[in-house]
Amino acid sequence: MDKSLRKYFPLFALPALLCFTVSFLIPMVWGAVLSFCSFSTITNAEFVGLSNYVRAFTIDNYFTSALLFTLAFTVVTVITINILAFALALMLTRGIPCTNAFRTIFFMPNLIGGIILGWIWQMIINGFLAYYEKTLLSDSIYGFWGLVILMNWQNVGYMMVIYIAAIQNIPEDMLEAAMIDGANGRTTLFRIIIPSVMPSITICLFLTTTNGFKLYDQNLALTNGAPNHGTEMLALNIFNTFYSRVGFEGVGQAKAVLFTILVALIALMQLYFTRSKEVES
Amino acid sequence: MANVGKKSTEWILFVILLIAAAAVIAPILIVLMNSFKGNIFITGGGTFKLPDSTSFVGFANYTTGIQRIHFFSAFGYSLWITIASVFAILLLTSMLAWYITRVKGRITSAIYYLLVFSMIVPFQMVMFPMSKIANMLHLDNLLGIVILYVGFGCGMSTFMFSGFIKSIPIALEEAAMIDGATPVVTFFRIVMPMLKSTAITIAILETMWVWNDYLMPYLVIGTEYRTIPVAIQYLRGGYGSVDMGAMMAMLVFAMIPVIAFYLACQKHIIRGVLAGAVKG
């Protein structure tokens, strides 16, 4: 079978691989090369060594502040989203009436696109702040918490669905045995439920981390980085470096490479953690 | 006594869930409500007031919004790009996945790892060179962007298909080939029908991605063909001035197809998301 199929490469593999080469492979390699060059279009590149990487940090283009903002945002959202999602999942696995309707409602915001979400919450948060005669542009702290609320609204339902599936997979007799042995709710939660859903917790922690790091659309529509780059996250900062000032394309590409390394490190950590969990069980 | 205690905690939980559900739905209802109000009544302290005789403008926001961003063309572009891309992704990547899973060798496993690697690379890394290459190769049109989506969606989809193909016994395919079936017939008659449930999962995940994607259509075809997210972002005028009335109306229009799609395919969507999360 291997042999008779092998010569069918042009038919089975080539079409998808051509698309992959044009839209990913070449741009990826080219992008990596360009990060060491000075250029304004991709054909007039001139080698400049590491200077783009140095300029990413030394010239004041808000890269470090975007990095710190993104880190703070990710830490806060990872914690809040997972706690809320886990709490909802616990409530929805106890046979309370209308469980399915609740699940349907909680998951829904996840399907709405980032740009649309950003504008919805811009209107609502500005509506609240208007009572204090402030707007999202008054201080970057409002943008920060606005993004946190938005992100929770969008992602809690998604993580909840993962947690519900995990909790439902816990063998019934394990919970019964715990009850017969007189375990109270707290003991059951910390000794049985949480340890048995640990793989799902790992998945959700990493999903929320990558979602936080890569956030772009919501950031663009909610504040567009205002006021004065105070709410600019990494992805938006990279975009603005590329497209809002001529002559900084190389710096933008260098930032993109650093961003990619950061995201890839998170993914590798995830792989390491999920693999080591699989070995245990 | 214990039973009474259990009942009352159930009631408390039910009330908590009701409040949470209200918090989830409220923003959507507020958008709907404000889409019938005049511009100045949406911001500046009036956001949460119901429309009254002075603030009510009927469907005026809808008509301005539709005209300003050509909503129905945007809807058409989004629909075409999503359907064509998802269909092309399913067809081409299932073939690729079958090939690289069944043909063992250094090249096929190198392809596999490259595809997996592409899943973790953020769009910003390739954004600039890709949009320039798309220009050079004349892919900046409604057909070209489908090719770009296939290339970018390839990773996850091939990964999920080949994960499934690894789990199905090879004997069936071999039997067909011994009986004289060509690889093409074997794939379309034997393999493809078995891929159905994986294909539904992938279709859901890719649909959610392509439909909501902003940056790629903005950079590649944004000047000529504006998809819904791109069109909505264009409502923001120069210097940050926004016609909030038209914005609210268009947000409502943008959400209707998504919510309809969700309510119609809810089971598949939740199952797809679960499968995608665990494997991705």
Q: Which fold has domain A53-280?
A: MetI-like fold (1.10.3720)
Q: What is the pLDDT of residue A46?
A: 85
Q: What is the pLDDT of residue B7?
A: 79
Q: What is the largest CA-CA distance in chain B?
A: 79
Mean pLDDT in residue range B121-147: 94
% of residues, chain A, pLDDT over 90: 60
Listed in sequence order, the residues at least 6 apart from A80 whose beta carbon sits closer than 8 Å to its beta carbon are: A148, A152
Listed in sequence order, the residues at least 6 apart from B46 whose beta carbon sits closer than 8 Å to its beta carbon are: A127, B37, B40, B55
Mean pLDDT in residue range A171-190: 86
Please name the member of B45, B99, B151 whose beta carbon is closest to the beta carbon of A24.
B151
Q: How confident is the model at residue A41 (pLDDT cuts 50, 70, 90)?
A: confident
Model confidence over A94-106: pLDDT tens digits? Answer: 888 889 999 999 9
Listed in sequence order, the residues at least 6 apart from B216 whose beta carbon sits closer than 8 Å to its beta carbon are: B123, B145, B148, B149, B152
Give the ranges where B70-168 is alpha helix by DSSP (H): 71-102, 106-120, 123-136, 144-167
Report CB contact under 8 Å: B150, A267: no
Q: Which residue has the higher pLDDT, A29 or A95?
A: A29
Q: How many CB atoms lie within 10 A of CB A14?
A: 16
Model confidence over A75-86: pLDDT tens digits? Answer: 999 999 999 999
Three-state DSSP class for A30? Answer: helix
Q: How confident is the model at residue B118 (pLDDT cuts 50, 70, 90)?
A: very high
Q: What is the pLDDT of residue A111?
A: 93
Q: Which two tokens stand for residue B267?
A: 């089971």
C-alpha–C-alpha distance, residues B76 and B78, integer Å: 5
Nearest-neighbour CA in chain A from B188: distance (Å): 11
Q: Which residue has the higher pLDDT, B45 or B191?
A: B191
Q: What is the pLDDT of residue B239?
A: 63
Lowest mean pLDDT among A27-36, B175-184, B237-246: B237-246
Chain B residues within 8 A of A28 when measuring between CB atoms: 118, 121, 125-126
Nearest to B221 by CA among B130, B157, B160: B130
Mean pLDDT in residue range B61-88: 95
Q: What is the pLDDT of residue A281?
A: 42
Chain A residues within 8 A of B104 when measuring between CB atoms: 2
Mean pLDDT of chain A: 90
Please name the member of B95, B251, B278 whose beta carbon is closest to the beta carbon of A116.
B251
Q: What is the pLDDT of residue A183?
A: 81
Model confidence over B154-201: pLDDT tens digits? Answer: 999 999 999 999 999 899 898 988 888 899 999 999 999 999 999 999
% of residues, chain A, pLDDT over 70: 98
Q: How confident is the model at residue A70 (pLDDT cuts 50, 70, 90)?
A: very high
C-alpha–C-alpha distance, residues B187 and B168, integer Å: 13
Q: Is the pLDDT of residue A259 over 50?
A: yes
Nearest-neighbour CA in chain B from A91: distance (Å): 7
Q: What is the largest CA-CA distance in chain A?
A: 75
Mean pLDDT in residue range B92-108: 94
Report CB contact under 8 Å: A256, B127: yes
Domain boundaries, chain A: 2-52, 53-280
ipTM of the complex: 0.92
* Sign of the Cα pseudo-torsion (A48, A53, A58, A61, in order): positive
Model confidence over B250-265: pLDDT tens digits? Answer: 999 999 999 999 999 8
Chain B residues within 8 A of A207 when measuring between CB atoms: 277
Chain A residues within 8 A of B270 when measuring between CB atoms: 103, 107, 161
Model confidence over A203-256: pLDDT tens digits? Answer: 899 999 999 999 999 999 999 988 888 999 999 999 999 988 788 889 999 999
Nearest chain B residue to A1, by CA: B174
Report CB contact under 8 Å: B150, A16: yes
Taking CA atoms, B254 is separated from A268, B25, B79, B222, B269, in Å, by 36, 16, 12, 18, 19
Q: How confident is the model at residue B238 (pLDDT cuts 50, 70, 90)?
A: low
- Mutation pick from B89, B125, B233 vs chain A, by most beta carbons of A within 10 Å, is B125
Token pair 């703070």 is found at A72
Q: Is the pLDDT of residue B3 over 80?
A: no
Model confidence over B212-224: pLDDT tens digits? Answer: 999 999 999 988 9
Q: What is the pLDDT of residue A40?
A: 79
Nearest-neighbour CA in chain A from B179: distance (Å): 12
Q: Is the pLDDT of residue A280 over 70?
A: no
- Mutation pick from B36, B124, B258 vs chain A, by most beta carbons of A within 10 Å, is B124
Domains located in chain B, CATH noted: 1-69+244-264 (no CATH), 71-234 (1.10.3720.10)
Q: How confident is the model at residue A4 (pLDDT cuts 50, 70, 90)?
A: confident
Nearest-neighbour CA in chain A from B31: distance (Å): 7
- Mutation pick from B25, B31, B126 vs chain A, by most beta carbons of A within 10 Å, is B126
Model confidence over A192-214: pLDDT tens digits? Answer: 899 999 989 998 999 999 999 99
Report CB contact under 8 Å: A17, B96: yes
CB of B99 within 8 A of CB of A8? yes
Q: What is the pLDDT of residue A39?
A: 83
Report CB contact under 8 Å: A123, B132: no
Report CB contact under 8 Å: B92, A6: no
Report CB contact under 8 Å: A107, B270: yes
Please name the member of A1, A128, A253 whose beta carbon is closest to the beta carbon of B174.
A1
Q: Which two tokens stand for residue A235?
A: 């992805």
Mean pLDDT in residue range A118-131: 94
Q: What is the pLDDT of residue B162?
A: 93
